[in-house]
Amino acid sequence: MANERPRILTGDTPTGSLHLGHWVGSVKRRVQLQDSHDCYFILANMHAFTTRVQQPEGIRRDCIEIVRDYLAMGIDPRKAVIFLQSEVPAIAELCFLFAMLLPFNRVMRNPTLKDEIKIKGLGENYSFGFPLYAVGQTADILAFRPVGVPVGEDQVPHLELTREVARRFNQVFCGVDEHAEDDDHVKLGGVFPVPRAEVGKVGRLMGIDGVNKMSKSLGNAIFIADPAKEVEKKVKKIFTGRQSPTEPGDTSNALFQYVEAFIEDQARVAELKDRYSRGDNLGDGHVKAEVAQELNRLLEPMRQRRAQYEGDDAPILAILKDGCERANALTEQTLAMAKDAAKLITFPRTLRPR
């Protein structure tokens, strides 16, 4: 199509509501891109089963709550497509095919998988589906043939795997030369573009524990929907380990990551950093109060928007239904192209939602 805009795909796993890490790591960028790009936002609900197989109700509820969070943060469903992974069958079909292109050891070498196994305490007892989700994510992305994927830093290894799958598919099934530049793959007949990870300025916001990345599953998050008082309470808990306001402070700590990420006045940021690092009678409590104030300034309009969508699930489900139809229209095309390239015998089919 002549007037096609560049496409992006990104999304979230329904393992809880969205938090400030999502805002700085991905959603803020999505809100900007929805005006210039064709945007597809996936709720990876099948992947949520990797860690929540006992909580199907929770996964269902979080899908709906995340859409509310999206709307609160400014994602506009008339511009962007919000859809459920489980309602887009082409993704599962591509996952099967892509799994054949990746050596098992290569999947298991993924540092994000290793970190998750450790941090989430999965031990030796994770399901077969757990490592499979990394392959699934390559299908989530490539089904949309996007040019870019706006994500936090932790997703970069997944994107690297995705890029490898795209290259390998194009080489094996589409005759693209193994020395071809990534940007030339489609021009040379490849089905899949080799998509870029687009990591924002804050690729990894720390949690209030001051140790791990802010994460829905780790109990260290400030949520978009938290009331103002809760935000203040959580900010007070940000761990720095500093003892007194006259002790020279380390401005690479979690608290100062919040200062840099959320206080807009750059002169004030510089002043705080200077005084903190010199131990110039600037207590953590004072810095935390300023951070909490800025956060509530950011979150208040989001809370107000969110309040409009509270209560009735029907409008949220309507957004998802429309999104799934639009996602299927595109991914069925991708799947047909991929099956063709892989020489599978295919018969035309149409998905007909009622």
Q: Nearest approach, Cβ of 9 to ligand ATP (angstroms)?
A: 11
Residue from the set 8, 43, 91, 214 that interacts with ligand ATP by CB under 6 A: 214
Residue from the set 55, 217, 277, 293 that interacts with ligand ATP by CB under 6 A: 217
Residues 115-144, interacting with ligand ATP (CB under 6 A): none
The verdict on 12 binding ligand ATP (CB under 6 A) reads yes
- Interface mask (CB under 6 A) for ligand ATP, residues 299-338, using x and -? ----------------------------------------
Q: Nearest approach, Cβ of 231 to ligand ATP (angstroms)?
A: 16
For the CA atoms of 315, 319, 322, 328, what is the dihedral angle to 10 degrees? -140
The verdict on 151 binding ligand ATP (CB under 6 A) reads yes
The verdict on 216 binding ligand ATP (CB under 6 A) reads yes
The CA-based diameter of the chain, rounded to the nearest angstrom, is: 74
Tokens of 138: 């390559």
Q: Nearest approach, Cβ of 253 to ligand ATP (angstroms)?
A: 15
Of 31 and 186, the one with the shorter C-beta distance to ligand ATP is 31
Q: State the distance between the two ends of the chain, measured CA to CA, in whole angstroms.
A: 28
Helix (H) or strand (E) segment spanning residue 282: none
What's the CA angle centered on 46, arms 337 and 341, to 5 degrees?
Answer: 15
Residue from the set 136, 146, 148, 152 that interacts with ligand ATP by CB under 6 A: 152
- Give CA–CA dist 217/228, Å, rounded: 22
Secondary structure percentages of the chain, helix, strand, coil, to 5: 55, 10, 35
Q: How far is CA 205 from CA 57, 201, 212, 255, 311, in A?
A: 28, 10, 9, 10, 30
Stretch that binds ligand ATP, among 7-15, 137-145, 316-324, 331-339 (CB under 6 A): 7-15
Contact (CB, 8 A) for 37 and 79: no
The verdict on 22 binding ligand ATP (CB under 6 A) reads yes
Q: Which residues bind ligand ATP (CB under 6 A)?
A: 12-13, 15, 21-22, 24-26, 151-152, 154-155, 203-205, 213-217
